[in-house]
Amino acid sequence: MAALHFLLKRAAKPNRYGSLATCRAFSSLRSSSSSATATQNITTPPQIPPFDHQPHPYNGPSADEVFAKRKTFLGPSLFHFYQKPLNIVEGKMQYLYDETGRRYLDAFAGIVTVSAGHCHPE
């Protein structure tokens, strides 16, 4: 709490050049141009760039079957944070694929996966 108080107090003091220091992290004001840009970003979802890879056909258990087995054989202390968990069945470089072939960016990878990717060709 003391650190926050220090930062807020310092944000309003003039710096050595005589102008007021600004702290964008604590600002709640936006300019009209950045507000318009934020609105455009909300209405247009980001797109994953093209990637030349087709996942192999998946013939294993469905996500619902995996979820049912999980409930049957694993204890309640092992839980998930999703209403419907993903059934990731393949990975290639920085992307993961579910049972339907839908592509996801792997933003939860480990150190080696981040640096080399899944199934790196070399």
Q: What is the pLDDT of residues 64-112, one digit of tens each?
A: 999 899 889 988 888 777 788 889 999 888 899 999 999 998 888 777 7
Q: Tokens 């993961």 — which residue?
A: 96
Q: What is the mean pLDDT of the chain?
A: 75
Q: How far is CA 105 from CA 53, 88, 108, in A?
A: 14, 12, 9
Domain boundaries, the chain: 81-121
What per-residue confidence (pLDDT) applies to 73?
93
Q: How far is CA 63 from CA 77, 94, 100, 115, in A?
A: 20, 22, 10, 29
Residue 29 has pLDDT above 90, yes or no: no
Instruction: Identify which has the larger pLDDT, 15 or 48.
Output: 48
